[in-house]
């Protein structure tokens, strides 16, 4: 719909649908735009007061991954259990975002606290270095949004 992701607040998704938090000034435009999209033609799209909206709950799955460096291609490959070549494909196809910005270079370094979104695979927070292995690889703590 041509809306900058920074102009939309949280999007809470569950089995019963989604709540999209937006500023009131954008509400009509978003409702109209979503109503015109084919994949939402059977959906009920309505404006509700924020007081009636679902409360955000962050449920996380705790993970540990082992990587040779904090490059985004290494991290993505481990998060989706694939090869680095496959991770590079995800990056080249603009399916990887770091802190909500699309990544175009597979050499980007990831920092602790960064949020990695892999379209179709999930959203992850890179927490902290847990330890180094004997082979000097990094064991990194990760939280996956459940």
Residue numbers of the domain that contains 82: 60-145
* 87/133 same-domain check: yes
Asked whether residue 65 falls in the same domain as residue 120, the answer is yes
pLDDT of residue 23: 82
Here the CATH number for the domain that contains residue 86 is 3.10.290.10
User: Is residue 67 located within the same domain as residue 135?
Assistant: yes
Tell me: do 82 and 140 sit in the same domain.
Answer: yes
Please tell me the total count of domains within the chain.
2
Global model pTM greater than 0.75:
no
Residues above pLDDT 90, as percent of the chain = 52
DSSP the chain: ----GGGEEEEEEETTEEEEEE-HHHHHHHHHHHHHSGGGTTS------GGGSPPP---EEEEEEEESS-BHHHHHHHHTT--HHHHHHHHHTT-EEETTEE---TTPBP-TT-EEEETTTEEEEEEEEEEE-TTS-EEEEEEEE-
Could you say which of 52, 75, 90 is where a domain stops? 52
**Taking all residues of the chain, what is their mean pLDDT, rounded to a whole number?**
88
């Amino acid at each position: 719909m041509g809306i900058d992701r920074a102009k939309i607040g949280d999007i809470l998704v569950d089995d019963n649908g989604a709540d999209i938090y937006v500023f009131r000034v954008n509400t009509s435009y978003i409702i109209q735009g979503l109503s015109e999209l084919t994949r939402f033609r059977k959906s009920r799209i309505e404006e509700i007061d924020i007081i009636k909206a679902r409360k955000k709950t962050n449920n996380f799955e705790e993970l540990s991954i082992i990587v040779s460096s904090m490059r985004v291609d290494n991290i993505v490959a481990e998060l989706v259990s694939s090869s680095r070549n496959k991770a590079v494909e995800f990056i080249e196809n603009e399916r990887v975002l770091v802190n909500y910005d699309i990544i175009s270079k597979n050499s980007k370094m990831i920092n602790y606290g960064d949020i990695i979104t892999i379209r179709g695979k999930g959203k992850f927070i890179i927490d902290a270095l847990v330890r180094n292995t004997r082979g000097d690889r990094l064991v990194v703590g990760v939280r996956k949004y459940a």
